[in-house]
Structures are given as C-alpha cells and as structure tokens.
Amino acid sequence: MKTKTIFALTAALMLGLTACGAANDSDNANDSSTQTEPNQAVEGSVQDLQDNGENSTESVGNAENTGTGKVLIAYFAVAENSDVDAISSASVTEVSGEAKGLVRTVAEDIQAVTGGDLFSIETSVDYPGDINDLIEYASVEQDNDERPELTSHIENLDEYDTIFVGYPLWWYDLPQVMYSFFDEYDFSGKTIIPFDVHRGSRLSGTPDTIQELELDATVISDGFTVSHETAAAAVSDVAADVEEWLHGLGY
C-alpha cells in the first residue's frame, strides 16, 4: 500500500501551490511525464511537481493517423458523479457561471473542433462534495484498487475510430473509475487520445498506464494537459490551446 500524506496534498491543492506557470501550462509537447510516488512529490516542493511535469519522456503512440474517422470524447467529471449541490461544493469548479468542472470544459473544447460525440463516464459512487473528503475518499479508493461500478455505457463503440479520454489527475494517477472504464471496453485497433486537468503533476505517466491497459490500441503520448489554475482563469485561452493541439494532430 502506498503511503500518502493526505494533509500535505490537501494543503497543496487548496493553496494552489503546485501550479505550473500559467502562461505555458497547456503546452503539451510530448507530455508523458514520469510517474512519481505520491509521498515523494507531496512531501517535496512545488518545484518537484513542476519538474515531474517538465522532465517528460516520449514513450507511447504518436500523432500519425489521427484526424480521421468518427470521434468519441469520453470524460469523467466529479460534478456529474456527486449528489451535492455543485454550486456550493468546493470540489467542483465553476466555469462561466456553470459548476461543471474543468475536465468537461476541455471535453467541450475538443468537441467544438472535432465535432465528436460527448460521453460522460458515470458511476454509482456518490463522490464527496467537500474537497478534503474527496481527497481522502480517492486515496482510500486507490489504495484498495477499487473498480467503481459504471452506470453509463457506450452502446455503439464500433462506430468510433478515435476516443479522446479525459479525467482529473487524482493522486498522481487515473481516478479509479477510469480503471473500471478500461476494464469494460476493448479499444483494440482504435486510437486513444488522453487529456487531463491537474494541479502540477501534468499527465503523470497516465498515457503509459492507459497503453498498458489497452495493449492493442494506439495511445497518443502527447495528450492535452492543463493546470487547474490556467483552465479556471483563462477558459478562452485554453480553448485556443486545445484547438492548436488538435490542429497538430490533424484536426
């Protein structure tokens, strides 16, 4: 079991101390950063988290053969998996007056450019609305390697060639519900393009993890990653960055 310092992570997230420089944050060039043990980075410094993002390595997939075929944009947003009043919840970010979170915002940016279909990954778990409770809940969920039950299902996966997959970075990894997601589907022969929102850890090696879970899919390593601070503060800039990134992928 991994040792975690919940208090330290909570403090870092609440204070926004782990933010990368806002202006260049959604620079996605080859961001498949090295996985870091949670307690290492949590107990380290802001610089540790930034370094984790910047010392990136190219390891899986490439951008060839994207930009064609039918697109699905599957995303996990805690706002759509919690019973709490999203407006008053500290765990859900309000974007342009709507409490929908940042991952969904990026998903919509991707939809605007690709014309793909949006799919919300939903689970029977009612995630805590309070940020401290959510951080602790997610930690236990990860330690137990839980697979939350999915309550939304892709009915027509055969129709899609490319699947954008979006998630908030939780404890330096995919949220456990994403493991449920990859357990449920076989993406063999399809292209998976990851994107995430984080508070300093960037993609934290998640494209490699996805590739391990979907051995016969092509997973694009230079997924889109943006910090919570940048995404919340400059929504239209992020939309422009998403558009530029997608142009680079052939859209």
Ligand X SMILES: Cc1cc2nc3c(=O)[nH]c(=O)nc-3n(C[C@H](O)[C@H](O)[C@H](O)COP(=O)(O)O)c2cc1C
Under the rule (CB under 6 A), what is the footprint of ligand X? 13, 18, 77-78, 91, 93, 101-103, 134-135, 138, 168-172, 197-201, 228
CB 98 → ligand X: shortest distance, Å? 12
**How far apart are alpha carbons 77 and 80 in whole angstroms?**
6
Phi first, then psi, for residue 239 (nearest 5°) are -60, -40
CB 244 → ligand X: shortest distance, Å? 21
**How far apart are alpha carbons 203 and 210 in whole angstroms?**
11
Helices 102-114 + 235-248 axis angle, to 10:
50
Report the residue number, 71 or 138, with the smaller CB distance to ligand X: 138
**How far apart are alpha carbons 179 and 197 in whole angstroms?**
17
Those residues whose C-beta lies under 8 Å from the C-beta of residue 195, and which sit 6 or more positions away, are: 103, 106, 107, 110, 164, 165, 166, 223, 224, 225
CB 67 → ligand X: shortest distance, Å? 26
CB 243 → ligand X: shortest distance, Å? 19
Report the residue number, 135 or 210, with the smaller CB distance to ligand X: 135
Report the residue number, 33 or 162, with the smaller CB distance to ligand X: 33
Report the residue number, 77 or 154, with the smaller CB distance to ligand X: 77
Provide the terminal-to-terminal Cα distance of the chain, rounded to the nearest Å. 42
Report the residue number, 102 or 246, with the smaller CB distance to ligand X: 102
- Is-contact 113 242, C-beta < 8 A? yes
Which DSSP helix (H) or strand (E) runs through 106?
helix 102-114
CB 201 → ligand X: shortest distance, Å? 3
